[in-house]
Amino acid sequence: MRRVHLTVLDAPTEWSRFAEGSVERRMLLALGDLLGTPLRPKPLMLPDGSRVEVEGIDPACRVLVQLVGNQGAYKPAYRNKVMADMFKLLWLRESVPTAERAVLLVSELIVQALGGWVARAAADLGIEIHVYDGSAAVPLRLPSRPDVKRP
């Protein structure tokens, strides 16, 4: 497998597209408080010059964060957004040389998209999931695994 290395660039502004008072900004601040490090959106550049943005990264470029902060009524398409962001986090964690942690921060509404196998797959792949309750970020609690004996 050929590994691509991404370069973390300086953002044009500290908060990029996240306006003051936006749910995304509040989510990053809350998660930064929980993790003990500031998190800001940053563009990343591939070797061919194309760019991708990570919605949150710490100053040491060890923690990568994607946000799913949808509000209102739940839509089944949100599950696709969750899985797409999980896929992006896996790729970014492998492509940013200093990255150690991949974190998905979701709103309480989006917890519904993590039912069944989705949250278990994230845990097994090393993606941390946290839930933003409107003021703080807390780790998602997975139901305990039943002991399954294999023949």
User: What is residue 121's predicted lDDT score, i.e. its pLDDT?
Assistant: 95
User: What is residue 147's predicted lDDT score, i.e. its pLDDT?
Assistant: 55
3-state secondary structure the chain: CCCCCCEECCCCCCCCCCCCCCHHHHHHHHHHHHHCCCCEEEEEECCCCCEEEEEEECCCCCEEEEEECCCCCCCCHHHHHHHHHHHHHHHHHHHCCCCCEEEEEEEHHHHHHHCCHHHHHHHHCCEEEEEECCCCEEECCCCCCCCCCCC
Whole-model pTM?
0.90
Per residue of the chain (151 residues), give pLDDT as tens.
557 899 999 988 999 989 999 999 999 999 999 999 999 999 999 989 999 999 999 999 999 999 999 989 999 999 999 999 999 999 999 999 999 999 999 999 999 999 989 999 999 999 999 999 999 999 998 766 555 555 5
Q: Which of 40, 54, 135 is nearest to 96 (CA)?
A: 54
User: What is residue 116's predicted lDDT score, i.e. its pLDDT?
Assistant: 87
User: What is residue 150's predicted lDDT score, i.e. its pLDDT?
Assistant: 55
